[in-house]
Structure 1
Amino acid sequence: MTTTDPTVQAAFKEVMAGVATPVSIVTAISGGLPYGTTVSAFTSLSMNPPMVLVSLDRGSETLELLRESGRFGLNILGADQAHTALAFAKKGGVGKFHGTRWELDHDLPRIPGAPGWIACTVTDLVDGGDHVIALGEVDVAELADGQPLVYYGRTFGTHLPH
């Protein structure tokens, strides 16, 4: 792994703080228990076949479950779900769902009220620095009403049209 100049790292961090990103929770299930983690590095990848990519920290317990199960859920959060995003951003997978309602959808944990839901089958895991990029082929995608939760300038907000 290449060591990056701390000045470049600091500048890169500042630039990325100025980029609005969607906030989502990647979920998996193991032994009947739900696991999940907040991610802001998620995007569509392909329309044919429909695919997404998510970036997960190498040490993520959720990443290990993706490796084992070959599947993941993507709960695209709404503007009123910042508290949920913060709860799932903490380290450690056990207990993140405590106090959060969830249901099983396509055998994956789904958080009701999230305006977007995508269930995926993992097609590849690609190394990317201190993260691993999970490529997922979309098994199901559903959209509900609600404004998206975005992260910009180190704070949560939402999108407003011009």
Structure 2
Amino acid sequence: MPNPTSTTDPASQEPAGTELEELQAVFRNAMAGVATPVSVVTALKDGKAHGTTVSAFASLSMNPPMVMVALDRSSDLLSILRETGAYGVNLLGHEHSQWASAFAKKGSDKFNGIPWAVDTGLPRLPGAAWVACSVESLVDGGDHVIALGSVLKVDLGDDKPLTYCQRTFGTHAPNPG
């Protein structure tokens, strides 16, 4: 535990150069071992659907109901959220790994060949669990921005969730016994 009376500058303890690259590589590998839900965050602007795959999604609060998603600072979707003030979270089912891959790519044609409908003013993918949100605030988080969302609507999905762990898609299975 750090000494609260210490005068050591925390910035002087941060790794630099090669040390930072090594820390980032080990950190990336450690985080690959953490199973995360796979979601497609969507928004609608000028009648056009936009979306991106995220694995950094979590519930935040029950009272009031809130969630959070992290979007890359350079994400086109982030700029749309800033303008529209709303986003949808499509929590993908285990059969939706192709959708996860399609929305993870760069480009504006991610919805080509993927069915969707407008729900609560936002693009919703069929069969996925659904959380519609208004943007409560945007918080800086390193190379990402965390979108805190007030929940407007929730619908359950049809199937087991799609997860991402050890750089592969899978799903949750209960432990026997």
Shorter-chain TM-score bucket reads: over 0.9
Normalising by structure 2, we get a TM-score of 0.88
In the other structure, the counterpart of 1:39 is 54
Matched, 1:75 2:94: no
CA distance in 1, matches of 2:66, 2:157: 19
Q: Secondary structure at the match of 1:46?
A: strand
Letter of the 2:106 counterpart? K
Letter of the 2:70 counterpart? S
Of residues 43, 62, 66, the one that matches 2:77 is 62
Deviation sequence 1:65-110 (CA, Å, 0-9, x none) = 1000000000000000000000000113x11000000000000000
Matched, 1:113 2:130: no
**Root-mean-square deviation (Å):** 1.1
In the other structure, the counterpart of 1:12 is 27
Larger helix proportion of the pair: 2
In the other structure, the counterpart of 1:96 is 110
Preserved CA contact (<8 Å) 2:93 2:158? no
Q: Secondary structure at the match of 1:119?
A: strand
Letter of the 2:81 counterpart? L
Matched, 1:135 2:148: yes
In the other structure, the counterpart of 1:26 is 41
State the aligned residue count: 159
Q: Which has the larger radius of gyration?
A: 2
Indicate the percent of aligned positions where both proteins have the same amino acid: 58
Q: Which structure 2 residue ranges, 5 or more long, are not aligned?
A: 1-13
Letter of the 1:101 counterpart? P
Normalising by structure 1, we get a TM-score of 0.96
CA distance in 1, matches of 2:172, 2:74: 31
CA distance in 1, matches of 2:145, 2:66: 16
Structure with larger RCO (C-alpha < 8 A, sep 6+): 1
Poorly superposed stretches of 4+, deviation over 2 Å: none
Of residues 152, 159, 165, the one that matches 1:152 is 165
Q: CA deviation at 1:127?
A: 0.5
